[in-house]
Structure 1
Amino acid sequence: MTFKILTETDYQISQWSGGETKEFYIYPETSAYAKKNFDYRISSATIAVEESLFTSLPNYSRCLMVLENEVKLIHELPNEKIVCRLAPFQKTYFSGAVTTRSIGKCKDFNVMYTSDYTVSVAVINEGDVELAAENSYFFYLLNECVCSQLNNKEVVLKAGMAYVLSNESGKMKFIASTEDGIIGILCCFKRK
């Protein structure tokens, strides 16, 4: 089992044309976003301007989930424009090669990945999460919770922490500290 807990001191913060981005995790860990040599990257961005143009990433697919406020994405294809409106915890998957504009200020959760992976991104609520050994997982905590790990050891995880796990199967149990039961966001990476 490969297991790692990440905190604010592990994240990389940088500026982009529309605001600020916080890189939570990049894989392989020796890769770099600027070099575009990563398999997948997980981040959160603040879109601080009313209209912005997303960075072109021709060799990557993306999943974007809104965390705060609402945003409208406009994907400019050769013969049409596709408009996607997202409210908090709604997501969309799209090609990084497509010219994409956003309208509206928001905070988002963003996953970029190569075609070597099938990726799913979901909000996790209190309860069990089933893990498969062939997948890699990234949990980002929006709220404090208690997590019963696979070895039945309980760990308190704080909001803003992340949890990276691979080569493990079984169940993890999450107990929420908020009434709405929202724990955070789960990303599952399955190599094709």
Structure 2
Amino acid sequence: MINLRVQEAKNVKVAQWSGGETREVFLAPDHGVYKVGQFDFRVSSATVELKESKFSALPGYERLIMSLDHCIRLVHEKEEEIEEIILQPFEAHHFSGDDQTTSYGQCTDFNLIYKPELKGFMKACNKAEQLTLESEVTVIYCLEDVDIQVIKNEELIKSYQLEKYSSLVLENPESHTRVEFDSQESFQPIVVCSMIQEK
């Protein structure tokens, strides 16, 4: 049976990092801590306030990043090559936590960090868009005040009115379950969805 839980904006952990401020949206398992080897996956959002920022090293993890507002340039220093990309707003980019990564440009970003035995996905959704729940865990992070409906076999299971920076966590969904979003905002994505499942 599907498990639903809301993380209100006022309860989100906020901390400082070398380039700005970070909000921990979700961390698994519940008893885990944000240290290498002591968590399975983590969803977070951070402000990047410096024009040049070095990312924390996270060896043994995979990473997905998305800018929520401005273009940024990412440089990944790998063992045998250097990769450089321009990341457009609301575009998800995968890279290894083993890379030495530097970002150039200021933005607010969204991050999913996960162990390699898991598979991670990230998607920004607009008003009136639907998301079919196929992953074991889905974390929906609100970029605005959002109305969310959880529907199974065309029957409404639960509805939520969530404030900006709140999130809804959906675990172990049954088949034919989807989520619909609505908001007063319509010109840009209103939620970011992070999905995690075993490979």
TM-score with structure 1 setting the length: 0.92
The count of aligned residue pairs is 191
1:66-105 to 2 correspondences below 5 Å: 66-105=67-106
Secondary structure of the residue aligned to 1:159 is: coil
Conserved? CA contact 1:176–1:182, under 8 Å: no
Give the aligned partner of residue 54 of structure 2: 53
Please give the alpha-carbon distance, in whole angstroms, between the structure 1 residues aligned to 2:85 and 2:60.
22
Equivalence for 1:186: 193
- Secondary structure class of the residue paired with 1:46: strand
Task: Tell me the residue number matched to 1:127.
Answer: 129
**SS of the residue 2:10 aligns to:** helix
Distance (Å, rounded) in 2 between the aligned partners of 1:166 and 1:97: 29
The percent of aligned pairs where both chains have the same amino acid is 29
1:22 maps to which residue?
Answer: 23
Query: Residues 121-167 of structure 1, C-alpha deviation per residue, up to 9 Å, x if partnerless?
Result: 001122321113x5210000112222222361432122211000111
CA distance in 2, matches of 1:5, 1:14: 20
User: 1:25 is paired with a residue of what secondary structure?
Assistant: strand
C-alpha separation in 2, matches of 1:67 and 1:172: 21
Bigger shift: residues 165-174 or 38-47: 165-174
Q: Deviations over 1:81-130 (max 9, x none)?
A: 11111121122100000110111111100111001211110011223211
The runs of 5 or more residues in structure 1 that have no matched partner are: none
How many Å apart are 1:179 and its aligned residue? Answer: 2.5
Distance in 2 (alpha carbons) for counterparts of 1:41 and 1:179? 28
TM-score, normalised with respect to structure 2: 0.89
CA contact (8 A) 1:143 1:159 kept: yes
Note the aligned Cα RMSD (angstroms): 1.6
